[in-house]
Amino acid sequence: MDRPRLKTTNLTFLLICLMYFILYVDRANIGTAAGEMRRELHLSNTDLGLVFSAFSYPYAAITLFGGWLADRFGPRRVFTLYMLSFAAGTLLTGAAGGMAGLIGARALVGLGEGAALSTMTRAMTNWLPQERWGFGQGFTHAFARVATAITPPLIATLILATNWRSSFYIVGVATLLCAVIWYAWFRDDPAQHPRVSAAELARLRPIRPRVPGERIPLKRLGIRLWPLSATFFCYGWTLWVYLTWLPTFFLQEYHMNLKGSALFSGGILLGGVLGDAAGGLLSDFLYRRTGRLEIARTWQITVGLLLTFLALCTVLITTDLTTVALALTIALFFLEIAVGPLWLCTLDIAPRYSGTAGGYLSIGFAAAGILSPLCFGLAVDLTGSWQWPFAMSIGLLLVGAVLAHWLRPDQPFVEELPEAVPRAA
């Protein structure tokens, strides 16, 4: 008797989750290695902030164009090229001999990752039925947060077993292997996959073939999506603090060793895993129960950011290690409740151009990635306090909660129709 095989759609979704995982290992590994790099290369906190920010300059430059590429040429080839870029950047980080080399290597990682999430959103649009889009966004981002939670202890273990340079070499080789697996398995159109069944295809949105010469309305999309990008900037400012400065915060403020700071950071980042999974499921649930996208998206984003604000306020009023760690964990949980609905808004508003819409969304995240790590490190060096940088994050969360009410996911982007040609008299 033949054993039932796993559905091709499910296997492809698991592959997309794996891509989110390796993306964030490459993105977050430098935070744990920063202490060793700082000592060996004689860097200040401001120098580290510049290195962290170097990731986001090319990230911002490529994010919109890269999302357009995914819409134009498909996620299979485009994402493979992105992976080769950030794999090379990770390998070169291990070989860097000074601050300039680190900046160049991190810029290469950012170049590859700039449009990666919008490309993955394009892939999910094709491979998941619409009623599971919230589930998809929630669980892919949960895998991203699993990566950020595992990365600190993983990189610390590799550093203690070898050195900080070897940790980047190992991760870079693993990324190249994932690129090979992606290209071999994934197909832009599920109908072209040799293993997909007719029953699976019947549940998916049909892939609309591109019309030769068809243009993507970049300007009109940008005008429609600016509130989404601005809200994502406010969300991203705080997330970048977690991704870049958390291990150093415990090293310097609480005088932990490398292993201790990595374990504390990893434990806190697990809060994001639960928040991502819960956020996607909650958004789907709210939409099924109410049928109203403004509740399932806008209000969930607003409440998530406000609860993050309240939790982070604890960091300003106490220095007790246990209380601060618990507050940071709870804050990240509620912050990640908001990220699934933010990405879902790109599908609600512009499903035909989800790659490009994801690019506009990522512009806000990239801008936050440029400013947040640098301002955080500069504030610590200038004031000698870790509370001022956290206060900046807290203020922006309130701004994001207000901006969320301009998203209007219930009003899809409407394409301009060509003017009617007048009949001849």
Q: What is the pLDDT of residues 324-356, one digit of tens each?
A: 888 999 999 999 899 888 988 888 888 777 777
CA 76 to chain CA centroid, Å, is 19
Angstrom distance (rounded) from CA 181 to CA 177: 6
Cβ neighbours for 380, distance < 8 A, ≥ 6 positions apart? 45, 252, 386, 388, 389
Query: In 3D, which of 99, 153, 148, 125 has the Cα closest to residue 12?
Result: 125
Give, as one character, the DSSP assignment of residue 424: P
Sequence spans of domains, the chain: 8-191+221-406
Angstrom distance (rounded) from CA 326 to CA 323: 5
Backbone angles phi, psi at 292, to 5 degrees: -120, 115
> Does the domain made of 8-191+221-406 have the CATH classification 1.20.1250.20?
yes
Angstrom distance (rounded) from CA 372 to CA 393: 8
Euclidean distance between the first and the last CA atom of the chain, given in angstroms as a whole number: 73
Query: In 3D, which of 20, 108, 116 has the Cα closest to residue 67?
Result: 116
- pLDDT for 247: 75
Query: In 3D, which of 44, 256, 34 has the Cα closest to residue 167?
Result: 34
- pLDDT for 384: 77
Angstrom distance (rounded) from CA 49 to CA 270: 24
CA 121 to chain CA centroid, Å, is 11
Coarse DSSP helix, strand, coil percentages of the chain, rounded to the nearest 5 percent? 80, 0, 20
Angstrom distance (rounded) from CA 103 to CA 51: 5
Residues 282-299, buried b or exposed e (16+ Cβ, 10 A)? bbbebbeeeeebbebbbb
Angstrom distance (rounded) from CA 145 to CA 279: 13
The low-confidence residues of the chain, meaning pLDDT below 50, are 1-4, 416-425
Cβ neighbours for 122, distance < 8 A, ≥ 6 positions apart? 67, 70, 71, 75, 354, 355, 358
- pLDDT for 211: 55
Q: What is the pLDDT of residues 285-294, one digit of tens each?
A: 888 888 888 8
**Containing H/E element for 188?**
none
- pLDDT for 299: 93
- pLDDT for 214: 60
